[in-house]
Amino acid sequence: MSGTSNKVYLVLSGTIFFLVAMLHLLRLVYQWPILVGTWTVPHWVSYVGFPVASGYCVWAYWLCRK
């Protein structure tokens, strides 16, 4: 893989992880419910998902700057 395609991949994945992190944060702020079939996803999933997605976002952008 060339350097340019690596950077494109890292920017794209960092952006996707940023969007996922923001959705987790918005879910926590506005108390949005998530239903999967008949199961309601507990809010603690977003308490875990927000820092994980944020960490991957920061990591992707950090690798892109190298």
Read off the pLDDT of residues 10-21 as tens digits, 9 standing for 90 and up.
999 999 999 999
- Host domain of residue 20: 3-65
Q: Could you give the angle at the alpha carbon of 24 between the alpha carbons of 18 and 29, nearest 5°?
A: 120
Residue-wise pLDDT tens digits, 38-62: 999 999 999 999 999 999 999 999 9
Q: What is the pTM of this model?
A: 0.89
Mean pLDDT, to the nearest integer, of 31-37? 96
- Structural domains of the chain, count: 1
pLDDT of residue 48: 98
Answer for the pair 7, 64: CB distance below 8 angstroms, yes or no: yes
CB atoms within 10 A of CB 14: 19
